[in-house]
Amino acid sequence: QVQLQESGPGLVKPSGTLSLTCAVSGGSISSTHWWSWVRQPPGKGLEWIGEIYHSGSTNYNPSLKSRVTISVDRSKNQFSLKLSSVTAADTAVYYCARGTYESSGSYYGIYFDYWGQGTLVTVFS
Amino acid sequence: SYELTQPPSVSVSPGQTASITCSGDKVGDKYASWYQQKPGQSPVLVLYQDAKRPSGIPERISGSNSGNTATLTISGTQAMDEADYYCQAWDSSTAVVFGGGTKLTVL
List Cβ neighbours of B6 (8 Å cut-off, separation of 6 or more): B20, B21, B22, B23, B85, B86, B87, B99, B100, B101, B102
Per-residue confidence band for B94, with pLDDT thresholds at 50, 70 and 90: confident
Distance CA A41, CA B14 (A): 30
Q: What is the pLDDT of residues B24-53, one digit of tens each?
A: 999 999 999 999 999 999 999 999 999 999
Q: What does the pLDDT read at residue A104? A: 86
| Residue A3 confidence (pLDDT) | 97
Inter-chain residue contact A45 with B88, CB threshold 8 Å: no
Q: Looking at residue A78, what is its pLDDT?
A: 97
pLDDT at A108: 84
For residue B88, what pLDDT is reported? 98
Distance in Å, alpha carbon of B21 to nearest chain A alpha carbon: 16
Q: Does residue A102 sit at the B interface (CB-CB below 8 Å)? A: yes
Residue-level pLDDT at B48: 97
Alpha-carbon distance of A115 to B43, in angstroms, equals 7
A105: contact with B, CB 8 A cutoff: no
**pLDDT surpasses 90 at B83:** yes
> What pLDDT, on the 0 to 100 scale, is given for residue A106?
82
Q: What is the SS3 string spanning chain B? A: CCCCECCCEEEECCCCCEEEEEECCCHHHCCCEEEEECCCCCCEEEEECCCECCCCCCCCEEEEEECCEEEEEECCCCHHHCEEEEEEEEECCCEEEECCCEEEEEC
Chain B neighbors of A59, CB-CB under 8 A: 95
d(CA A90, CA A118): 15
- Residues B31 and A44: their CA atoms lie apart, in Å, by 24
Whole-number pLDDT of residue B73: 98
Cβ separation A113–B45 shorter than 8 A: yes
| Interchain contact, A45 vs B101, CB within 8 Å | yes
Per-residue pLDDT of chain A (125 residues; tens, 9 = 90+): 999 999 999 999 999 999 999 999 999 999 999 999 999 999 999 999 999 999 999 999 999 999 999 999 999 999 999 999 999 999 999 999 999 999 888 888 999 999 999 999 999 98
The predicted structure's pLDDT at residue A4: 98
Mean pLDDT value across residues B71-82: 97
Residue A66 has φ and ψ, to the nearest 5°, of: -70, -15
